[in-house]
Structure 1
């Protein structure tokens, strides 16, 4: 049997490749030929050709973002959350193999299939949101770094019209950040309704920005535009000769009008009030409240290491950048770096408590942690979840709380240690580093205390 697959995660960094590796390994074990296209941060790699697709018996899509399926028309397609492919690639391959041989299902199989379908349906909203976030991220990263470079010339240097600092601020803050919410809303809608949803989503997002509803309004506008467009697509039936008007005229026009009117007259003002209240609370937080928020964000970042809870904390922090609130973003990135760094340190401090494979993985975890790829902790957590997950959660909570307590701010939502060298991107950098080191040491010590020895000390030292 021959299969093709596509893996994709919101950032296109770690989960994308981990899922691909898991599927390839499982396929080898089961004697299945597979080619996996990874939708990474630099675009599609190992891209599937028309010949690959034509010769495939089954298509697997393991994604947390929207993957267009037009090119797979006529092929059996198995869609699974990307976490399923990472955790149990063999089960995914086995499910795909069954698509080739449809048979009468007994009652137990029908119940199981229904459960799986419901589970996959529940990932829909998350998948649409993450699609929007993945398209928004490059605007936020580029805009945030350009704003920081502007501040490097002086806190008020951008006030001088025509200066380089002013130009950088105009590009980063006035343009890149201005596009952040419309792009978020547009691609949430695109994920739901495909291309006809893009225009109403972006226009709804632009209205959210102009009405002061911020990223919360953008999320509402994106889902509203997507589901309205999808509904219109199902109820409007035109003659075949006029079908070409649907995606370029009928659907965008009607959906844009509906979303725009709802945003202006119904949704925009209440969401703007909620956004203003959230902004006021965050900017006026006492130190105690800041510490609690940092602690919660830290726990979320370590709980599922790149999963839905982690991405919820990350999305919250990224969304606040457009409102010039930078402290949560600093706490989130620091807390996300801590788990892989802690596990890397633990493999150095207590080699006898890790297998040889884990010690080797610990060397890579240094790089992943420094790059803000929390997923570097997943192999360790999968092998010993009851000890590893609580340990890294405590360390990340410490890091997040300290980052907020020290008033650290981060203007670029990614990059790890590589943005430390850009002037102005992080405020109070020395204490930010202290926060990361403190959480890393706490988690590493907990791991050393909690994990049992798996091999003699002499053998571990070799």
Structure 2
């Protein structure tokens, strides 16, 4: 297809047009070639499920597609030569694409990562169409959207949601490191004493001169302090990477500054979200004017950090930080005072949210709320850790329940492909990867999702009723050593798993509809072949 304007230079820089598109006579040289990037906030499940679904469907369609998975352990980078030969790029992401400028000049389509799982064929067909459409949006040399793209499907609401998910994604490792170190400290020393006296112990004792302090107490203080310092970066990291999601690198410094202000004022994670958005939006707007080269070179390193930090930090200090801090104080006191029926109700609601869309936006809201609240947990205020345990236990139920139904209770009501997915779901569920239930939900949502929600509600209510706590934000059954109330935690999960497994089997039994293997996302469909 023809390429015009500034995009053409970027297009050719990535490879000649002949490498990507048909010749002037319309004939195609070899197979169609695409590249794709998949990424989700946690970088664990959706990222790889979307990659598999796109790759399998492309193979069936006779399209050469290579996928870069930008997961939590890093990205499997595409070879530059592969990008140069591609006709278009598919972005199936819930967070910002890292080093997007590598794809400069390529036509692209973008959507949430879940669409890559549910509709891989449609996305590939749209990318092939975009490759032949000179008006299709293209990735520009600075990695931002072209004007056509900005007026297209992704509005500011979607961009802000992606930025917040980017912040949550980068924040989780800080919580994991800090929370686990503090949990280990509480295991080897008295939790209340080590939390209250860590600073005094570390200020007077050393490994060579412990004085009156026991070795266990000293090591506990060291671990607690390292973990506490790491978890104190939760809000600045959240704000910094929200701003990064909106404005790229110029947003990082003002975002971190706004997060530190939010911490100082006691505005918590809500203040971090607001501060990150303010810093990111200000930094983004400051990148828009076309300036002389001498001034433009100063913008990203001096002027943007200065003005965006002043804007976001000033608004937090002078206008909105105080009310947010008051709300956070109230919310913390309410959570700390929850017991009995109110705690059980909160657990049921969180369980419902975790199991309603299996890793989708509602699930992520509940999970993000739990992770962000961990920073407020103390030895005497365990409510945030109770919420974390509730969210983890509830999120494990759907894949475990579907694994039970498809491999044990109701094998004959599931296709061969679903039974294979069920075997994998045992491990996914045990690891707190709710997305393991997605293939089942996509094939039969009216039975699978209500059954999952019912099991999640019971599990959430039970974990809150028993007062189970978790200092770790992820890990499923593998973090049992840092779970307080292990037996109740396991019992709650087992009860929810059985409920989901039994209910989905009963629903399949009454009103079962035969399904073909091709209806399972990510599995090549055999019903039809699309000629491209």
Instruction: Please classify the TM superposition score into its range, dividing by the shorter chain length.
Output: over 0.9
Equivalence for 1:188? 242
| Structure 1 Cα separation of the partners of residues 41 and 464 of structure 2 | 26
1:155-170 equivalence runs, <5 A: 155-156=191-192, 158=194, 159=197, 161-162=201-202, 163-170=218-225
Size of the aligned set, in residue pairs, is 442
Determine helix, strand or coil for the equivalent of 1:326. helix
Q: CA RMSD in A?
A: 1.9
Does residue 198 (structure 1) correspond to residue 252 (structure 2)? The answer is yes
| Structure 1 Cα separation of the partners of residues 369 and 333 of structure 2 | 15
1:367 to 427, 431, 445: 427
Determine helix, strand or coil for the equivalent of 1:11. coil
Equivalence for 1:460? none
8 Å Cα contact 1:144-1:172 kept in structure 2: yes
8 Å Cα contact 1:80-1:120 kept in structure 2: no
Does residue 59 (structure 1) correspond to residue 52 (structure 2)? The answer is no
Determine helix, strand or coil for the equivalent of 2:191. coil
Residues 183 and 221 of structure 1, relative CA distance in 2, 3 Å threshold: same
**Could you state the TM-score of these two structures normalised by the residue count of structure 1?**
0.92
Unmatched segments (≥5 aa) in structure 1: 106-112, 456-462
2:391 to 332, 336, 342: 332
1:355-434 equivalence runs, <5 A: 355-420=415-480, 422=481, 425-434=482-491
Deviation by residue 1:162-201 (Cα, 9 ceiling, x = unmatched): 400000000001x111111100000000000011100000
| Structure 1 Cα separation of the partners of residues 286 and 498 of structure 2 | 55
Equivalence for 1:436? 493
**Could you state the TM-score of these two structures normalised by the residue count of structure 2?**
0.80
Equivalence for 1:89? 120
Deviation by residue 1:24-68 (Cα, 9 ceiling, x = unmatched): 1221222211110111121112x2122111111111111111113
| Structure 1 Cα separation of the partners of residues 318 and 348 of structure 2 | 38
Deviation by residue 1:190-232 (Cα, 9 ceiling, x = unmatched): 0000111000000000110110000010000010101111122
1:227 to 281, 286, 298: 281
Residues 207 and 104 of structure 1, relative CA distance in 2, 3 Å threshold: closer
Q: CA deviation at 1:104?
A: 8.6
Q: CA deviation at 1:242?
A: 2.6
Equivalence for 1:250? 303
Determine helix, strand or coil for the equivalent of 2:110. strand
| Structure 1 Cα separation of the partners of residues 135 and 161 of structure 2 | 33
Determine helix, strand or coil for the equivalent of 1:123. helix
Residues 102 and 244 of structure 1, relative CA distance in 2, 3 Å threshold: same
Determine helix, strand or coil for the equivalent of 2:68. strand
| Structure 2 Cα separation of the partners of residues 117 and 417 of structure 1 | 43
Greater helix fraction, Structure 1 or Structure 2: 1
Q: CA deviation at 1:79?
A: 1.5
Equivalence for 2:400? 341
Residues 98 and 454 of structure 1, relative CA distance in 2, 3 Å threshold: closer
Equivalence for 2:7? none
Equivalence for 1:2? 33
Equivalence for 1:448? 505
Determine helix, strand or coil for the equivalent of 1:376. helix
Determine helix, strand or coil for the equivalent of 2:279. helix
Equivalence for 1:33? 64
Deviation by residue 1:112-163 (Cα, 9 ceiling, x = unmatched): x999944665432221111001101111011111000000022245236140
Deviation by residue 1:369-428 (Cα, 9 ceiling, x = unmatched): 0000000000011111100100000000110111111111111000111110x2xx2111
Equivalence for 2:175? 140
| Structure 2 Cα separation of the partners of residues 116 and 339 of structure 1 | 38
Q: CA deviation at 1:241?
A: 2.6
Residues 116 and 88 of structure 1, relative CA distance in 2, 3 Å threshold: farther
Determine helix, strand or coil for the equivalent of 1:102. coil
| Structure 1 Cα separation of the partners of residues 388 and 169 of structure 2 | 16
Equivalence for 1:22? 53
Q: CA deviation at 1:244?
A: 1.1
1:111-122 equivalence runs, <5 A: 117-118=152-153, 122=157
8 Å Cα contact 1:151-1:157 kept in structure 2: no
| Structure 1 Cα separation of the partners of residues 415 and 150 of structure 2 | 36
| Structure 1 Cα separation of the partners of residues 370 and 469 of structure 2 | 11
Equivalence for 1:109? none
Deviation by residue 1:331-357 (Cα, 9 ceiling, x = unmatched): 100000000011111121121111122
1:263-278 equivalence runs, <5 A: 263-278=316-331
Unmatched segments (≥5 aa) in structure 2: 1-31, 137-147, 203-217, 378-383, 515-532
8 Å Cα contact 1:354-1:454 kept in structure 2: no
Does residue 259 (structure 1) correspond to residue 312 (structure 2)? The answer is yes
8 Å Cα contact 2:181-2:227 kept in structure 1: yes
Equivalence for 2:21? none
Determine helix, strand or coil for the equivalent of 2:105. coil
Q: CA deviation at 1:291?
A: 0.9
Q: CA deviation at 1:278?
A: 0.7
Residues 342 and 330 of structure 1, relative CA distance in 2, 3 Å threshold: same
8 Å Cα contact 2:278-2:311 kept in structure 1: no
